[in-house]
Amino acid sequence: MKVEGKPTRTIWLEENGESVGIIDQTQLPHRFVTCSLKNLQDAAHAISEMLVRGAPLIGATAAYGLCLGLRDDASDQGLATAYEVLLATRPTAVNLRWALDDMRTHLSPLGEGERVAAAYLRAGEICEADVKANRAIGENGLALIRAVQEGDKPVNILTHCNAGWLAAVDWGTALAPVFAAHKAGVPIHVWVDETRPRNQGASLTAWELREEGIPHTVIVDNAGGHLMQHGKVDLCITGTDRTTASGDVCNKIGTYLKALAAFDNGIPFYVALPGPTIDWTMVDGLAEIPIEEREGTEVSHISGLSASGEVVRVQVTPEGSPVANPAFDVTPARLVSGLITERGVCPASREGLLGLYPSRR
Ligand code: MRU
Which residue, among 40, 36, 100, 90, has the nearest Cα to 65 in the 3D structure? 40
The domain containing residue 125 runs over which residues? 2-129
Ligand 1 pocket mutation pick from 52, 158, 208, 251 by most atoms within 8 angstroms of CB: 251
Tell me, yes or no, whether 175 lies in a domain. yes
pLDDT of 76-98, one tens digit each? Answer: 999 999 999 999 999 999 999 99
Tell me, yes or no, whether 60 lies in a domain. yes
Counting from 1 in the atom list of ligand 1, the atom nearest the Cα of 173 is: 15
**CB-defined site of ligand 1, < 6 Å:** 53-56, 93, 161, 163, 167-168, 172-173, 200, 239-241, 251-252, 327
- E strand segments, 165-319: 188-193, 216-219, 235-238, 242-244, 249-252, 269-272, 278-279, 301-305, 311-315
Residues 160 and 263 in one domain: yes
Q: CB 283: neighbour CB atoms within 10 A?
A: 14
Residues 53 and 188 in one domain: no
In CATH, what number is assigned to the domain containing residue 95? 1.20.120.420
* Largest pairwise CA distance in the chain: 63
Residues 221 and 350 in one domain: yes
In CATH, what number is assigned to the domain containing residue 247? 3.40.50.10470
Q: Are 244 and 283 a contacting pair, CB within 8 Å?
A: yes
Residues 252 and 175 in one domain: yes
pLDDT of 189-242, one tens digit each? Answer: 999 999 999 999 999 999 999 999 999 999 999 999 999 999 999 999 999 999
Tell me, yes or no, whether 144 lies in a domain. no
Q: Is 22 exposed, middle or buried (0-12, 13-18, 19+ CB in 10 A)?
A: buried
Residues 175 and 102 in one domain: no
Tell me, yes or no, whether 269 lies in a domain. yes
Digits of tens for pLDDT over the chain (361 positions)? Answer: 989 888 999 999 999 999 999 999 999 999 999 999 999 999 999 999 999 999 999 999 999 999 999 999 999 999 999 999 999 999 999 999 999 999 999 999 999 999 999 999 999 999 999 999 999 999 999 999 999 999 999 999 999 999 999 999 999 999 999 999 999 999 999 999 999 999 999 999 999 999 999 999 999 999 999 999 999 999 999 999 999 999 999 999 999 999 999 999 999 999 999 999 999 999 999 999 999 999 999 999 999 999 999 999 999 999 999 999 999 999 999 999 999 999 999 999 999 999 999 999 9
Residues 227 and 119 in one domain: no
pTM, two decimals, is: 0.98
Tell me, yes or no, whether 66 lies in a domain. yes
What amino acid positions are annotated as catalytic residues? 241
User: What's the structural domain count of the chain?
Assistant: 2
